[in-house]
Structure 1
């Protein structure tokens, strides 16, 4: 884990702790959010690493512009999937469910 990733993770954890202390989220929500972020960061890194060989192949066979367009499409699709996953996870949080019932 790089220093930047460690620093970003710690900033995330500190921000969640502040939300918990303010009563905006529960301890369970805090733990869920930390776990989700860790899992998603790992998954995104793996997915990006898996794209590199295909991107390089496309550059060699189809040219830089075509490869860039392909990687852009892949990034957009990945972002949409990550956004949908995050939305489902947030909707499952205790504090979100409680506020929806109020």
Structure 2
């Protein structure tokens, strides 16, 4: 799994380098995107780990279907929050602000 994460991260970095070479983003934007992705991946992994004990508890107490519904709702909330955070970060990029002007 660690190899997959490293390979995915490297593919992300390679893709950003191509965007920079094509002039779609500058070096500052590239670095911002890399830092953002690293920070978000770590935060999401920690949040997912924290859900496991609660899910197991709910599964035992309320049944699997109820625990699955709870997990689906938490997942939706996480996705919406991460999406909004990503949008704010992208909107702050120099290349995005320049193209809006």
Normalising to structure 1: TM-score of the pair?
Answer: 0.98
> For residues 19 and 54 of structure 2, what CA distance do their matches in structure 1 show?
41
> For residues 24 and 64 of structure 1, what CA distance do their matches in structure 2 show?
47
- SS of 1:24's equivalent in the other structure is coil
Q: Runs of at least 4 residues of structure 1 off by over 6 A? A: none
Q: Show structure 1 runs of 5+ residues with no match.
A: none
> For residues 91 and 46 of structure 2, what CA distance do their matches in structure 1 show?
26
Q: Where do 1:12-27 residues align within 5 Å?
A: 12-27=12-27
In structure 2, the residue matched to 1:35 is: 35
Q: Show structure 2 runs of 5+ residues with no match.
A: none
Deviations 1:9-68 (A, max 9, x none): 000000000000000000000000000000000000000000000000000000000000
- SS of 1:25's equivalent in the other structure is coil
CA RMSD in angstroms, aligned pairs only: 0.7
In structure 2, the residue matched to 1:96 is: 96
1:3 shift after superposition: 0.2
Normalising to structure 2: TM-score of the pair?
Answer: 0.99
In structure 1, the residue matched to 2:77 is: 77
> For residues 26 and 66 of structure 2, what CA distance do their matches in structure 1 show?
47
How many residues were matched structurally?
101
